[in-house]
Structure 1
């Protein structure tokens, strides 16, 4: 946001979505009503995220929201076509299992974007939050006498 304010440009928040099943097979397996429902759910989710981000306040820059059907990396590259655009993506957590099943959006964008790309590393507080969450919900104390 600071970058958009300094450049005096519009900020476009993009949410990529896919139909149930995700891949190319979902193009024919879902009917029009299902796709319309998915598109509407994506728009609702983007509104929720932006409302939570700004807490009902007006953003300090011009802000637009856009939902795009497709994978995140391809959608972002498609939206930011102009060499004067700046694409900002989060690097996200990249554990070994996640790398195996989900390709890196940041890596895809860096390889394919026609504009400069700014990658933002995950917050150092994220690891602490996840560790505390795992610690508090991994094993709940269970009193076997309550089961009888």
Structure 2
């Protein structure tokens, strides 16, 4: 008799925000680990908006033609992020990558709408300047999501790269003194053996 069987269950999902930044790549790797642990599907989501936002794009000439180009760029960014993190081996779990048009925070919260979902986001930069001057996707998700949210802290490498970038922008040289000491220790160790 039809309808007497158990209702089909929907697989658990681990939804993760992807932007291509180092923080989002760290979050993507952690989300894949979580999906494997939970035996869930991995749903990487890259949310994009037209340059200047949707309001500007509605009134700009020729923006309808550009929408397809912007969407293709977002797809390429997603594919690059997936390749950077997983290579040819893939994530090791079922995956459904999505490219969604919209603001990242609301788009992620809308997609991760099941109680059984887990939403993974990069925690972003922790400086006061960035907190004061930029919208935080992770903060939005933590306050608006109806499912558990994991905020993955930035990789220590990300902080070191940001510091090196600041030094380059300011025209300051790199402190190579610690490198000279390491090279000396390594060469000293070789000559002792």
TM range (shorter): 0.7 to 0.9
Listed one character per residue, the Cα deviations across residues 56-111 of structure 1 (whole Å, up to 9, x for unaligned) are: 22321112211111111011001101111000011010333323332111111011
1:145 maps to none
Length, aligned pairs only: 141
User: Structure 1 runs of 4+ off > 2 angstroms?
Assistant: 23-31, 94-101, 132-138
Say yes or no: does 1:19 pair with 2:62: no
Give the one of 42, 48, 59 matched to 1:28. 59
Listed one character per residue, the Cα deviations across residues 23-68 of structure 1 (whole Å, up to 9, x for unaligned) are: 5333332522111111111011100110111122232111221111
The alignment's C-alpha RMSD in Å is 1.9
2:36 maps to 5
Q: Distance in 1 between matches of 2:172 and 2:149?
A: 43
1:128 maps to 160
Unpaired segments ≥5 residues, structure 1 = 142-148
Shift of 1:7: 1.1
Q: Distance in 2 between matches of 1:136 and 1:85?
A: 42
Would you say the 8 A contact 1:80–1:115 is kept in 2?
yes
Unpaired segments ≥5 residues, structure 2 = 1-31, 174-193
What is the TM-score when the length of structure 2 is the normalising length? Answer: 0.67
Bigger-Rg structure (1/2) = 2
Would you say the 8 A contact 2:57–2:63 is kept in 1?
no
